């Protein structure tokens, strides 16, 4: 009986403070997940996933696109937010209501009642793709949190501190997990280890990650 209860407990939605201001909302987006994946398909029909090139001249292993008023872009000139997709010259697709509602309600759960994102970066990882340790510093106001939503294959997330050489902890981010990164953790170094081979029943051979940001005031 005890085993049964601890197993049921483990499946319940739960929240964990990973660091000051960083709240992991386990499976928070699970019920929404298939609809979110459908929205990603629609967005990527209008603004296809692409491998952006860093200022150093390397093509990123993660494929990216955006929705919302602003989209994050990388090219030989640097990293920044743009109103238009540089591939098409058109505005980024509108942020779906379902995305906005999820991001706002997750931020509220974590103590950020005023968060209204105006950018959503969509990352697509296929097996082998990774994101090296970095800080997110291209936004205007670091008092706004970032909300991330993981979909599809699980990934190992590395979470360090304010200094690149700070020790990192590892967390597995699963389908439906939402994390709100605010307070001191907003500027902590983080990354994703190379995605392991696998096939997810809803997302196929991929992991998608949505990051909701207040890019510009
Ligand atoms: C911690 N994305 O797009 S999401 C990114 O899974 C990015 O695709 C990863 O890092 C991904 O910039 C990680 C988790 C995440 C997102 C933003 C953060 C963690 C963060 C900002 C500050 C601290
Ligand atoms: Fe990041």
Per-residue pLDDT tens over the stretch 1-42? 455 445 445 555 699 999 999 999 999 999 999 999 999 999
List, for residues 171-198, the tens digit of each pLDDT value: 999 999 999 999 999 999 999 999 999 9
Task: Establish whether residue 186 lines the binding site of ligand 1, counting it when its CB lies within 6 angstroms of any ligand atom.
Answer: yes
Judge whether 6 lies within some domain: no
List, for residues 132-171, the tens digit of each pLDDT value: 999 999 999 999 999 999 999 999 999 999 999 999 999 9
Per the structure, the complete domain to which residue 100 belongs is given by: 12-213
Mean predicted lDDT score pLDDT of the chain = 95
Pairing of strands 190-192, 131-134: antiparallel
| Cα–Cα distance, 183 to 181 (Å, whole number) | 7
pTM flag (> 0.85): yes
pLDDT of residue 107: 98
| Residue 153 · residue 195 · CB < 8 Å | yes
pLDDT of residue 167: 97
Task: Establish whether residue 190 lines the binding site of ligand 1, counting it when its CB lies within 6 angstroms of any ligand atom.
Answer: yes
| DSSP alpha helix (H) spans, 49-138 | 97-109
Judge whether 7 lies within some domain: no
- What CATH number does the domain containing 121 carry? 2.60.120.590
Q: Which ligand is nearest to the CA of 185?
A: 1
Phi, psi dihedrals of residue 93, rounded to the nearest 5°: -55, 150
Judge whether 165 lies within some domain: yes
Judge whether 16 lies within some domain: yes
Task: Of 161, 203, 210, give the one whose Cα is nearest residue 186.
Answer: 161
Task: Establish whether residue 66 lines the binding site of ligand 1, counting it when its CB lies within 6 angstroms of any ligand atom.
Answer: no
pLDDT of residue 7: 41
- The number of distinct structural domains making up the chain is 1
| Cα–Cα distance, 31 to 208 (Å, whole number) | 16
Q: Which ligand is nearest to the CA of 123?
A: 1
Task: Establish whether residue 181 lines the binding site of ligand 1, counting it when its CB lies within 6 angstroms of any ligand atom.
Answer: yes
Task: Establish whether residue 209 lines the binding site of ligand 1, counting it when its CB lies within 6 angstroms of any ligand atom.
Answer: yes
**12 Cβ contact list (under 8 Å, min separation 6):** none
Query: How far is the centre of ligand 1, averaged over its atoms, from the C-alpha of 191 (Å)?
Result: 7
């Amino acid at each position: 009986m005890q085993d049964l209860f601890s197993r049921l407990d483990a499946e319940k939605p739960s929240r964990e403070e990973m660091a000051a201001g960083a709240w992991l909302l386990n499976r928070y987006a699970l019920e929404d997940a298939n609809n979110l994946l459908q929205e990603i398909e629609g967005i990527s029909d209008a603004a296809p996933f692409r491998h952006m090139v860093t200022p150093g001249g390397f093509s990123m292993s993660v494929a990216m696109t955006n929705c919302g008023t602003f989209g994050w872009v990388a090219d030989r000139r640097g990293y920044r937010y743009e109103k238009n997709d540089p591939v098409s010259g058109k505005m980024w697709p509108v942020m779906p209501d379902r995305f906005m509602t999820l991001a706002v309600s997750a931020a509220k759960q974590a103590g950020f009642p005023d968060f209204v994102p105006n950018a959503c970066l969509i990352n697509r990882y296929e097996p082998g793709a990774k994101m090296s340790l970095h800080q997110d510093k291209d936004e205007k106001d670091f008092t706004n949190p970032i909300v991330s939503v993981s979909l599809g294959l699980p990934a190992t997330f590395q979470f360090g501190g304010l200094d690149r050489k700070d020790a990192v902890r590892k967390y597995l981010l699963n389908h439906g997990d939402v994390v709100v990164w605010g307070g001191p953790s907003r500027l902590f170094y983080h990354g994703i280890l190379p995605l392991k081979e696998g096939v997810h029943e809803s997302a196929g051979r991929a992991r998608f990650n949505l990051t909701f940001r207040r890019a510009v005031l």
